[in-house]
Amino acid sequence: MKNFQIALIPGDGIGPEVVAEGVKVLQAIEGMDASISFSFTTFPWGCEYYLQHGKMMDDDGLEQLKPFDAIYLGAVGYPGVPDHISLRDLLIKIRKQFDQYVNLRPVTLLHSSLTPLKAKTEKDIDFLVIRENSEGEYAGAGDWLYKGMPEEVVLQTGVFSRKGTERIIRYAYEEARESNRTLTSVSKGNALNYSMVFWDEVFAEVGKEYPDVKTYSYLVDAASLYFVTNPERFEIVVTSNLFGDILTDIGAAITGGMGLATGANVNPEKTFPSMFEPVHGSAPDIAGKGIANPLAAIWSISQLMDFFEEGQWGRAILHTIKRMLEDKEQLTPDLGGKASTSEVGDQFVELLKRLTVGRE
Ligand SMILES: NC(=O)c1ccc[n+]([C@@H]2O[C@H](COP(=O)([O-])OP(=O)(O)OC[C@H]3O[C@@H](n4cnc5c(N)ncnc54)[C@H](O)[C@@H]3O)[C@@H](O)[C@H]2O)c1
């Protein structure tokens, strides 16, 4: 029997609402698979915690999280706490300190009705964005000089180390080789004359070790255009922290929106726990209404199961999401349905059981 210890950080807004549905799915798996069990520990960190304690997480929070096999996070950020504090002092802190340098964001159309792109179907939109997740434009390096004075200057320095750049690019080449897919690097060497010229050089250099992988290189502006006009060009995409963040929102827009976008923050060496989360934020506009779409958070569970090398469950979850999407009535309002968050979770679990146990 394998026991996986999971740290839950439901966070703010709709975070706790969608995490509850992901946990339902894990509990259902436990009930169906005698070889797997999960233990959950919930951490109350987030904006409410900040307002009470003046910090987003405990001082020894990372120490507390370290023994876990994985972290399952809802969302952080809420009006009343500046976003740069909520994001940097919890989410980005965990990503950086736990060296979760790989951010895996699938851009996969699960049902053709979900894309606003005319004439595009499931076969046209199915790729994986591998985003650098530990440095780059989000390194937090910079300065704020002469604050409030006429001479005011702010510096936000992108940090691209050889180690950091090489390892994410190598990870992407490995993934492309293993899955026999093409690899596209997205950068901006024409304008960012240090960081992105370096990125392009490393991409070419590492590529010499992978002559079997077919590669493309696009500038981020052109890539943004192709995400919309020709998504079928892409199979695996590797890019920097900021570009990956923005491009994957376009990815979400062409595949059904924020309620269906997932991301895994992976430490491939497993020195630290990896973290699984929907891409969306805390959605204060719909928080507490019980209408948040939990499917992105449930898709994160699929990524979690793949990470635990329980790929049969990863695939079963994804297949069940696809089946759910066939019937609009049982979806949340963002996807045109009338169901509540917990109704979607309940129906998901029922269908997963039917498809798995009943081999439907
Ligand atoms: N990973 C994270 O924790 C994360 C990511 C992005 C933003 N944030 C934070 O979340 C807060 C809100 O940010 P935002 O409004 O820019 O982004 P958001 O993703 O929270 O919301 C954007 C829009 O998408 C909708 N939406 C998002 N998730 C949905 C879901 N599951 N079901 C249905 N609709 C959904 C929202 O209602 C809103 O209209 C901010 O404090 C921000 O810093 C956190």
Convert the pLDDT of each residue in 272-302 to its tens digit: 999 999 999 999 999 999 999 999 999 999 9
| 101 and 130 together in one domain | no
| 245 and 260 together in one domain | no
CATH code for position 325: 3.40.718.10
| 92 and 141 together in one domain | no
| Final residue of a structural domain among 238, 253, 268 | 253
| 345 and 261 together in one domain | yes
Ligand 1, CB cutoff 6 Å, lining residues: 14, 18, 75-78, 83, 87, 91, 258-259, 277, 280-286, 292-293, 296, 334
| 359 and 265 together in one domain | yes
Domain tally, the chain: 2
| 243 and 260 together in one domain | no
Write the DSSP string, 171-215: HHHHHHHHHT--EEEEE-TTT-TTHHHHHHHHHHHHHTT-TTS-E
Among 264, 259, 308, smallest CA distance to 285 is for 259
| 87 and 158 together in one domain | no
pLDDT tens-digit map of 58-117: 999 999 999 999 999 999 999 999 999 999 899 989 999 999 999 999 999 999 999 999
Residues sharing a CB contact under 8 Å with residue 51, sequence separation 6 or more, in sequence order: 80, 81
Terminal CA-to-CA distance of the chain, rounded, Å?
26
Measure Cα distances from 247 to 2, 66, 137 in Å: 37, 31, 14
| 131 and 249 together in one domain | yes
The pLDDT assigned to 360 comes to 46
Residue 170, domain extent: 126-253
Does residue 291 contact residue 341 with C-beta atoms inside 8 Å? yes
The pLDDT assigned to 358 comes to 61
Task: Note whether residue 115 is domain-resident.
Answer: no
Rg of the chain, C-alpha, whole Å? 20
| Mutate which of 45, 260, 282, 343 for ligand 1 pocket (most atoms within 8 A of beta carbon) | 282
| 274 and 249 together in one domain | no
| 166 and 178 together in one domain | yes
| Mutate which of 76, 258, 341 for ligand 1 pocket (most atoms within 8 A of beta carbon) | 258
| 232 and 334 together in one domain | no
pLDDT tens-digit map of 6-16: 999 999 999 99
Q: Which residue has the tokens 């750049």?
A: 165
